[in-house]
Structure 1
């Protein structure tokens, strides 16, 4: 889960709970009305907040033409580019922001993420350090070669189970098949302490973390090989956690595959066919995914990525249709019984039926949170709809933690009749409402 602008390692340990990654929990610096007034960027920020990212980009550019030293505009313009993996623009504006304010944690974090997505891990290290992430800085500084090298073209991994968590089989360093869950709300690959020992992993850096009523150790290293069916990834950043005695923290699976693995591939979450399909990111593979969606009558949806692992697209709730689809969190894998989480005051504003008599104690951003069952009249992603479906509302979750409004986040249960392909080259989501992948 995102916390203070980053993946909170304690949330990694808790796995993918129902609210995990529910698009986020804590507002970022410089996203307030006061900051906008101070920088003269109110109109641009309003466009950004409304999820009108292209218009916001042009507005920030106009501000920078008049005021090239405007830190807020440079940082936001870089953020807009990074949302869509437009790396040259992202580097240009975020480098400008860091030059204007070398100690600005948010600008450094965004620039570090920009380098991470391009597999320039060592270049990210000084920016993680400036952002206050010393463990990340040490971890990624140790990578001198090319990470995530891909061997093979296609993998089809049948799901060993759907619930309570989806499981597929994968091999670590050439060993026997292990049970891996997956979740796009998690960043890097994780394995259990047992798997780490069996694979001969040694940490590059370790840190002690408060966890529930005690502490655990989080370790960060490099994995020689991760084999996923017909595809093998080499030199993969990996993390594992252990108790003080070295035992596993979580025994529900042997590890978790996060979005950093998935965005190196053209990834299809075939819920309807209960399989995970992985392909090299080639123009031909993307064309096949686009054609399959078109044949099913589904056009591409936009795909945005922020805060290293927070995935978004456009969707809607009944009552928001006057302004058209809005930015929503979109998460695949993980676990939980709800189809979506409705954030902030959205449920109250839209008069969504909410059961206040049945509070649910959970976690959001690694902090205790109270959610309530709610039943939106309709939620929609592309052509996929669910009516009067069981959801949660988290009234204390901020609506715009990353500067743009996210009224809801869609989860594992919503996707079950569907097939979704994530194209991180053109940043498109191909979402087939009902039916298996070809």
Structure 2
């Protein structure tokens, strides 16, 4: 993942916990090496054209169909993603990645029933049961605009929301998490019952992860109805996490036009319309933002193009975009990235932390500059994990190289708008 704190596969499988990681076989192994190299390097448009050339010569090349479909999915190009991923599944019905990508493609479009058999084929039985339980239209949006003041900024931002018409609760948010989740006590108060439950090992013990459907989630002037939600409890039914009442993940945000106004200390949510997108885009560009590419990988992980600079040289490439969550660092730097760029790293000062759900040792580092469009920070506190690879293959990673990720503290001077329709990211400094 991007190096953040939350992930569906660890502990809550969607609730507020740390992200799992592993190093497995190569992402796309088995087809054109040069084309795969383009994909892994983040040259997605060139990789798409190369996969298409392979398919013209060999229409039954499952590997190329899957790769082309994944590239389309990264950019929310749903017709192309469905076309190629359906081809890949038809050619290899048991292929885990092809089914996983197609299932993800369907849930991004709220086609939950269509996603269920592909989640099952990908080995995600809980997801299959959960999404099969959604009746009618999911994520129904009522209202046009919500402005939610931050109730606090650190250690993680909090906003208020109402669950099933109840009193205001304090929710954190994080784009490294997939679904909406909440504490077990909040779920009980709201009268939720699970569609599926799963027992998970956690810190030498076990917890239960539950998945259900929430009738109403109200965020200021916007209400979402019929929303997939998760919650976790100890074996005795107690809350596992008490830092907040719940967590708002990427699935909620990509149903809306979302502005993370760190500088103004508020979360701005709009109904996704062309008019709202034009207005938000014009406002951001007047404030000096440039449109940056946006890619969405493996359900929730946002990426764009940024740069890191060290004493030796600088490099521009794909970076993770982690909005929300809690962290004292401005950015995280992959170990190999820090080494190659000559980023000053304090190897005498070990910091014990959780790096992607497992205890890890990281080291403070200080890039000369980090940049995302016109947003820049110099000589700031980051950390680097020498053992963290630049590319974690599927099924646990994205399968493409990332130099690092931009974290909670980087965003504080900025207003960030995430447009999931045109797949653009706007980062503006508020005057």
1:343 is aligned to 2:338: no
**Matching residue of 2:395:** none
Measured in 2, the distance between the counterparts of 1:318 and 1:102 equals 44
Cα pair distance change 1:345/1:2, threshold 3 Å:
closer
1:420 is aligned to 2:404: no
Give per-residue Cα distances to partners, 1:397-423, cap 9 Å, x unaligned: 221222321011001100000000000
Measured in 2, the distance between the counterparts of 1:242 and 1:70 equals 45
State the 1:12 CA deviation.
Answer: 5.3
The partner residue of 2:84 within 85, 93, 100 is: 93
Alignment of 1:71-110 (within 5 A): 71-110=62-101
Measured in 2, the distance between the counterparts of 1:14 and 1:206 equals 13
The partner residue of 2:379 within 362, 376, 388 is: 388
Q: Is 1:8–1:366's contact at 8 Å kept on the other side of the alignment?
A: no
1:297 is aligned to 2:288: yes
1:409 is aligned to 2:400: no
SS of the residue 2:129 aligns to: helix
**Matching residue of 1:117:** 108
Alignment of 1:234-273 (within 5 A): 234-273=225-264
Give per-residue Cα distances to partners, 1:288-308, cap 9 Å, x unaligned: 111112211221101100110
Q: Is 2:21–2:357's contact at 8 Å kept on the other side of the alignment?
A: no
Cα pair distance change 1:104/1:344, threshold 3 Å:
farther
1:68 is aligned to 2:38: no
Q: Is 1:2–1:25's contact at 8 Å kept on the other side of the alignment?
A: no
Q: Is 1:192–1:255's contact at 8 Å kept on the other side of the alignment?
A: yes
Q: Is 1:105–1:130's contact at 8 Å kept on the other side of the alignment?
A: yes
**Matching residue of 2:430:** 435
Q: Is 2:14–2:181's contact at 8 Å kept on the other side of the alignment?
A: no
State the 1:143 CA deviation.
Answer: 1.1
Measured in 2, the distance between the counterparts of 1:175 and 1:391 equals 40
Give per-residue Cα distances to partners, 1:187-235, cap 9 Å, x unaligned: 0000111111110000000011111121111000000000000000000
Measured in 2, the distance between the counterparts of 1:42 and 1:321 equals 30
SS of the residue 2:135 aligns to: coil
Structure 2 residues not aligned, in runs of 5+ = 393-397
Measured in 1, the distance between the counterparts of 2:2 and 2:214 equals 25
**Matching residue of 1:169:** 160
Measured in 2, the distance between the counterparts of 1:76 and 1:278 equals 33
State the 1:366 CA deviation.
Answer: 2.3
Structure 1 residues not aligned, in runs of 5+ = none
The partner residue of 2:138 within 134, 147, 168 is: 147
Give per-residue Cα distances to partners, 1:64-113, cap 9 Å, x unaligned: 11111212111110000000000000001111111111111111111110
**Matching residue of 2:34:** 43
**Matching residue of 1:9:** 10
State the 1:359 CA deviation.
Answer: 1.8
State the 1:246 CA deviation.
Answer: 0.7
SS of the residue 2:113 aligns to: helix
SS of the residue 1:10 aligns to: coil
Measured in 1, the distance between the counterparts of 2:240 and 2:358 equals 19
Measured in 1, the distance between the counterparts of 2:234 and 2:379 equals 42
State the 1:7 CA deviation.
Answer: 3.1
Q: Is 1:151–1:233's contact at 8 Å kept on the other side of the alignment?
A: yes
Q: Is 2:311–2:368's contact at 8 Å kept on the other side of the alignment?
A: no
Measured in 2, the distance between the counterparts of 1:204 and 1:298 equals 43
Give per-residue Cα distances to partners, 1:303-331, cap 9 Å, x unaligned: 10011011101110015998863110001
**Matching residue of 1:186:** 177
What is the aligned length? Answer: 423
TM (norm. structure 1) is: 0.93
Give per-residue Cα distances to partners, 1:102-149, cap 9 Å, x unaligned: 111111111110001000111111111111111111111111311000
State the 1:28 CA deviation.
Answer: 6.0
Measured in 1, the distance between the counterparts of 2:124 and 2:107 equals 14
Q: Is 1:270–1:420's contact at 8 Å kept on the other side of the alignment?
A: yes
Measured in 2, the distance between the counterparts of 1:339 and 1:297 equals 21
Q: Is 1:13–1:241's contact at 8 Å kept on the other side of the alignment?
A: no
**Matching residue of 1:128:** 119
